[in-house]
Structure 1
Amino acid sequence: MKKSGKLLTSIMLSATLLVPAMGVSANGDSVDQKGNETFRVLIDSQNQKELQNAKSKYGVQWDFAGEGFTVDMNEKQYEALQKNKNIKVEKVPEFTIEKSSSKPEAVYQAMAASQSTPWGIKAIYNDSSLTRTSGGSGINVAVLDTGVNVSHPDLKNNIEQCKDFTTSTSFVNGSCTDRQGHGTHVAGSALADGGTGSGVYGVAPDADLWAYKVLGDNGSGSADDIAAAIRHAADQATSLKTKVVINMSLGSSGESSLITNAVNYAYSKGVLIIAAAGNEGPYQGSIGYPGALPNAVAVAALENVIQNGTYRVADFSSRGDSSTDGDYVIQKGDVEVSAPGASIYSTWYNGGYSTISGTSMASPHVAGLAAKIWAANPSASNATIRKDLQNRARNYDILSGSGAGVGDDYASGFGFARVR
């Protein structure tokens, strides 16, 4: 049920013990009190006394229990810890907005009347004359991104949670400021409600938005912040007894154990995870993480071009491996479904609108569709909704674009999942 713009206050995640004071240098890097550049590390040990000593000495950003804890430290501290045979320490990887979706192709201050239902929305509804959308009531879409402009007229009625996981404390409730734009754009494609009737519509305008800022204003974020947000969304789903779809339009070429374990945890809790496939196509084996994970639905991007009777997979869209074509089984590194992702018009962080291309734009179309399907079948499990997405995709096989072909292929996956 929509919350009329009121934020739901939730219990703070207990994760921070002691956090050393940090600052930011002139070039945007984190620095400690002495001006030394710092970076995020994961510390773990089988020796509980050593582990507790390390927590007391360095502080804790996120405590992942059996996986260790994270904290910011400088190079000298890092090198000293590496010499301790009882301590395992490693740098935490960064995840970013996919490069082709980091900057808009065009920005608009006011709504273009012809764009109330952009081409991607019409395509996923399979209705070229569509003027507004519906559905998603009671389902929460958690957008883990650069934040969201919660005052945007097309999003303000959907906001239920707004949290910042990029701060020096565990997270800040009621703050999710988007200064980059990517997160606001993603949220709009999933569930924008048209504002007063003169704005843009997303796939599921009646869904509730959980805006989780996990990426900084430069579009980059630490894997532990993202992992903590995933786990928090899963715990909220359990405590609030609600259905949650997580959208992650972000990625990395390398896998992070923290994020992998968080995704597996969330999926086990009944959360459905949707993620961008990546923008490293048309090369095989280019699916980024977390999209490459078996418990995440990797979404490829389609262009507004009809070829061979179907929409075409964009060249920039990352591909899986052709060796798994035709098996209709999701393995690590597979594309699962496709959705509109090229020249997508949606909400922007300045209160206006913009057009961007990327699998980052395709992913929220599927997240919105999942919310719409789930709202119509509220007793269904996340696995059932995922299967429904796959079956819908089979009905709209994609036959155009490098690597696309009949049936399950490494470019488009099962096909284009649609409303009807």
Structure 2
Amino acid sequence: MRRQRKKLLGGMVLSAALVLSAFSGGAGAVDESTNTSSSSDKLRVLIQPDKSVRSLKASLKRQLGERHDFDDLGFTTEVTEEELKKLTSDKSLKVTLVNTLSIAEFQEEGRVEAMATPSDRTPWGIEAIYRNSSIQSTSGGKGIRVAVLDTGAYTAHPDLSANVEQCYNFTTSSPVVNGCADGNGHGTHVAGTILANGGGGSGIYGVAPEAKLWAYKVLSDGGSGYADDIAYAIRYAADQGVSKGVKVVISMSLGSSAKDSLIANAVTYAQQRGALVVAAAGNSGPSANTIGYPGGLKDAVAVAALENVQQNGTYRVADFSSRGNPSTAGDYVIQERDVEVSAPGRSVESTWPNGGYNTISGTSMATPHISGLAAKIWASNPTWSNNDVRAELQKRAKANDIKGGISAGTGDDIASGFGFPTVQAGDQ
């Protein structure tokens, strides 16, 4: 097989230059620090053959192997440095290093050790989004699936186990069923904020405890992952929604500072297939134009982080929360690099992989509040489309404007977006 690969690659026309990824070091350079593979001598690449050269794609896939196929965008695989040099010299190919994304810029520091029991069964973020400081439990989300693309989830957690419907690992060469184990904690925490069900009397509650969890491990236990695995999982969740005839919210508390074409395409694909995509804005604030991706995409609901502090009569946007684009502020129209809504994101308590609870901060923690609210709204309005639910989130955010924090003010701003959408009477 090795000899066959060399023969094919050696026969290619040597002419085209390497098309660098957003994380490459510079013209003619390959930055391997952003493209670590399971095999130390391999690089993850996206290969886009010239469509006019018929059968080339199929031939390359047979010789190099295939990770994921993205139709006209090409396919991904892993190659050695020697193979990469030969591939990138062929005029009929566009070869790009696959980007990596992580939770690094989306989670702030939190408690070092988790607690065995929650300090509050309805944490402050739940009380805030329900507009009820004395609430004892939550409800809603029945029939809605929430795909959490993250570090996995501890599906045996007492507050989550009854809600788990799917558990896949997308960080391997092909998805592994029941392989979503979370060795990090981030994904379990996110899942709990969305749909923790109280654990039979002693646990914590999420926003929509009757929703079903699709736990998709797209990041390593170290908190990073490849864009092609994430894009594939986004498409998979959307396709599952269509094939099963169910409503799907895709929640992503991950990202990078650079836009990735595979993920951008997948998010648009999911939106067109009827899924609602919710993503973190990032933790690179408080300067303008610091929003990350995929949150910065037009087809994703970007969520900023609030803290449990009152300023100007409202909750305050955390300084760490990324800000949007000033040139598009004030118009109540979502464009690329716009913050859309905001939600509790500092000092959020939720479920943890040891079966206990932990308190961490970030727009990673704000995002699941909105994902849970979307599930709750959709369950109450099952005939609605994903666009209808998004419009309702925007409507509720406008009615609860956020005026606290750097760059926050009356109306659509770069810090809080439209505002903080909350639960209303009648939500189920």
> TM-score over 0.5 for the alignment?
yes
1:7 matched residue in structure 2:
none
Q: Could you tell me whether the CA contact under 8 Å between 1:100 and 1:279 is conserved in 2?
A: yes
The alignment yields a C-alpha RMSD, in angstroms, of 1.4
Secondary structure of the structure 1 residue equivalent to 2:161? coil
Q: SS of the residue aligned with 2:266? A: helix
The Cα of 1:103 is off from its aligned counterpart by 4.8
Residues 135, 206 of structure 1: 8 Å contact kept: yes
Aligned match of 2:156? 151
Within-5 A mapping of 1:7-406 = 29-30=36-37, 32=39, 37-45=41-49, 46=51, 47-99=53-105, 101=107, 103-112=109-118, 114-168=119-173, 170-406=174-410
Contact 2:105/2:282 (CA < 8 Å) preserved in 1? no
**How far off its partner does 1:84 sit?**
1.3
Alpha-carbon distance, 1:356 to partner: 0.6
Mapped contact 2:106–2:280 kept (Cα < 8 A)? no
SS class of match (1:409) = coil
Residue segments in structure 2 that go unaligned for 5+ positions in a row = 6-34
Deviations 1:157-176 (A, max 9, x none): 000000010012x2111210
Letter in 2 for 1:160: E
Look up the equivalent residue of 1:164 and give its one-letter code: N
Shift, 1:107, TM fit: 2.9
Q: Is the 8 A contact 1:98 1:278 kept in 2?
A: no
How many matched pairs? 389
Distance in 2 (CA, whole Å) between partners of 1:219 and 1:178 is 10
SS state at 1:115 partner: coil
Provide the C-alpha distance between the structure 2 equivalents of 1:395 and 1:107, rounded to a whole number of angstroms. Answer: 38
Taking a change above 3 Å as real, the CA distance of residues 93 and 252 of structure 1, as seen in their structure-2 partners, is same
Deviates more, 1:246-255 or 1:103-112: 103-112
Q: Distance in 2 between matches of 1:418 and 1:379?
A: 21
Match of 1:24 in 2: none
Question: Structure 1, residues 111-151: CA drift from partner, whole Å, max 9, x if none?
Answer: 13x41000000000000001110000000000000000000
Once the two structures are TM-superposed, the CA of residue 31 in structure 1 deviates from its matched residue by: 5.6
| Distance of 1:149 and 1:92 partners within structure 2 | 28
In the alignment, the residues of structure 1 paired with residue 54 and residue 212 of structure 2 have an alpha-carbon distance, to the nearest angstrom, of 41
Instruction: Give the letter for the 1:146 counterpart.
Output: T
In structure 2, distance between residues paired with 1:143 and 1:160: 12
Residue 102 (structure 1) shift: 6.2
Residues 175-222 of structure 1: CA deviation (Å, up to 9, x unaligned): 101000100000000000011110010000000000000001110000
Q: What's the secondary structure of 1:101's corresponding residue?
A: coil
The alignment's TM-score, normalised by the length of structure 1, stands at 0.90
Q: Secondary structure at the match of 1:147?
A: coil
* C-alpha distance 350-281 of structure 1, shift in aligned 2 (>3 A): same
CA distance in 2, matches of 1:99, 1:386: 25
Whether the 8 Å CA contact 1:214–1:221 is kept in 2: the answer is yes
Residue 49 of structure 1 and its aligned partner are, at CA, apart by 2.4
**Superimposed CA distance per residue, residues 237-262 of structure 1 (whole angstroms, 9 cap, x where no aligned partner):** 00000000000000111111111110
AA aligned opposite 1:124: I
Question: How far apart are the structure 1 equivalents of 2:156 and 2:54?
Answer: 46
Answer with 1 or 2: which has the greater Rg. 2
Structure 1 residue 75: Cα displacement? 1.4
Deviations 1:263-282 (A, max 9, x none): 00100011000000000000
Superposition deviation, residue 86 in structure 1: 1.2
Aligned partners of 2:325 and 2:397: how far apart in 1? Answer: 19
Equivalent pair of 1:237/1:244 in contact (CA under 8 Å): yes
Deviations 1:89-125 (A, max 9, x none): 110100100336165324323113x410000000000
Q: In 1, distance between residues paired with 2:154 and 2:130? A: 26
Alpha-carbon offset, residue 301 of structure 1: 0.1
